[in-house]
Amino acid sequence: MRILQLSTFDLRFGASIAARRLHEALLAQGGDCDLLVSEVQSDSPRAHGAYKGLGKVQAKARHYLDSLPLRLYARKPGLFSANWLGSSIHHTVDQFTPDIVHMHWCQSSFVPTSALPHLNYPLVWTFHDMWAFTGGCHYSDGCDHYLKQCGRCPLLQSNNSNDLSHWLWKQKDRAYGRLPKSLHVVCPSNWMAEAARRAPLLKGVPVHVIANPISAQMFRPIDKKTARRLLGLPEKGQLLLMGAAAQGDRRKGFDLLQDALRQYAGLPGVEPLGLVTLGNRNNRSANPTKGLTNWNIGFLQDEVSLSALYNAVDAVALPSREENLSNMLSEALCCGIPCLAFAIGGNGDLIQHQVNGYLAKPGDTADMANGLHWILQNFGTEQRARIAEDAHARVSYEALVPQFLKLYNTILAQR
């Protein structure tokens, strides 16, 4: 069985990292798997760039042209992708003669909707966000227009029922109806699966829930002091981690964490707390409350350093307003680190309230502050092995690759 995975990137952004990890996990267990991306960034011997020479220039031009319709709208903050232009990517796919094509996040005109009917193979599609069944938004922010063919898109600030979101919704409807082979959807979280099953665009399409696999050998507990020394962090004191790259994205809820930390600082008897952030060192919003010490360690390009970072902190905060299943959540739990999040999206698939973390009431920053206090008071080194063991049983390569292989074999048997 030969599997070809499609992803716009193989290192950039969480969805692409998840695709690359599944690719590596399949190879590690003897699978015949290739990864086709817009531009190779990793060192995987079976990751292939889709474009060469003039094709790279054409791909950049197509990405620019694909974005032009969005310029007609005064958009609100939030990710919206058209991905509407035609493409000949199916010719490149044909060169691999796969038995199954497994798509991931394929935006930036890499695999546009109009190209799907030309992929004449059984198709598995992992939904890393909601884009596949909306009129263009990646997260709906509570809007249910995708249940009604979109139009009057809040993200586009449009009052037109026949706006770009409606046109793109109809384009997807036509493309999905012309798929020559079977389509199976994989959702990393039960929340995403429920939304996909409700979506009219996917009526009759089988939806499966399989989380994104994590390497238990890479993400596991190590000594906290050793991890802090490696990263130049203070050996004493309590540290909280959040990704700094999320600070400019309203969906990621950094403003909610700021408010929660201000309230935490006012709780009686709390110890001094440091905030560790990943990403842009020049982000001025890194200090969310007066007197809170911040350490920004920039971008970590390798998973050894990333695993050390989780092991160096006492808790991880994921204050998102909407979330599928965060890589940070899986990675932190695999390192035995308790997580603080709102009870939204896929967070409840992995966080057991007051067992391996704390699920605050959605949007309730006072509850998040109390949850942070509870975690820092109730978790120590002795709980870490149990947290990691439970996470490995849920999201490790060993736990999840057999589920993907079973799905592939079932699809081929049905064919």
pLDDT tens per residue, range 18-30: 999 999 999 998 8
Provide the domain limits for residue 257: 224-395
What DSSP assignment string belongs to 180-224? SS-EEEEESSHHHHHHHHH-GGGTT--EEE-PPPB-TTTS----H
Classify residue 219: in a domain, yes or no: no
| pLDDT tens per residue, range 59-81 | 888 888 888 999 999 888 778 99
Per-residue confidence (pLDDT) for residue 143, from 0 to 100: 96
What pLDDT score was predicted for residue 232? Answer: 92
- 198 and 242 in a single domain? The answer is no
Q: Report the share of the chain in percent with pLDDT over 90.
A: 74
Read off the pLDDT band of 99 (50, 70, 90): very high
Instruction: Tell me: do 41 and 94 sit in the same domain.
Output: yes
For residue 335 the two structure tokens come to 């390192």
pLDDT tens for 130-158 read 999 999 999 999 999 999 999 999 999 99
Is 51 a member of any domain?
yes
CATH number at residue 79: 3.40.50.2000
Q: Report pLDDT for 289.
A: 58
Which pLDDT does position 291 carry in this prediction?
60
Are 197 and 319 in a shared domain? no
For residue 284, name the pLDDT band (cuts at 50, 70, 90): very low
Together in a domain, 57 and 181 = yes
Q: Are 92 and 28 within one domain?
A: yes
For residues 371-395, give the mean pLDDT.
Answer: 94
Classify 124 as helix, strand or coil.
strand
Whether the pLDDT of residue 301 is over 80: the answer is no
Average pLDDT over residues 90-101: 96
Q: Which of 47-56, 272-281, 370-379 has the highest mean pLDDT?
A: 370-379
Tokens representing 80? 């919206």
Per-residue buried b or exposed e for 383-393, using 16+ beta carbons within 10 Å of the residue's own CB = ebeebbebbbe
Number of domains in the chain: 2
pLDDT of residue 64: 86
Q: 408 and 383 share a domain? A: no
| Residue 187 DSSP SS3 | strand
What's the rounded mean pLDDT across residues 167-188?
Answer: 95
> Is residue 55 situated within a structural domain?
yes
Are both 263 and 290 inside the same structural domain?
yes
Is the pLDDT reported for residue 290 higher than 80? no
Same domain, 206 and 232: no
Secondary structure (3-state) at 239: strand
Dihedral-angle region of residue 122 (phi above 0 means left; psi in -120 to 50 means alpha; beta otherwise): beta
Residue 114 forms part of a structural domain: yes
8-state DSSP, 82 = -
Q: Are 392 and 334 in contact (CB under 8 A)?
A: yes
Residue 286 in domain: yes
Identify whether residues 272 and 338 lie together within a single domain.
Answer: yes
Is the pLDDT score of 281 beyond 80?
Answer: no
> Which of the 8 DSSP states describes residue 252?
G
Please give the model's pTM, rounded to 2 decimal places: 0.93
If asked whether residues 234 and 339 sit together in one domain, one would say yes
Strands 100-103 and 2-7: parallel
Same domain, 49 and 89: yes
Q: Is pLDDT above 90 for 173?
A: yes
Same domain assignment for residues 131 and 150 = yes
Residue 218 lies in a domain: no
Q: What is the pLDDT of residue 343?
A: 98
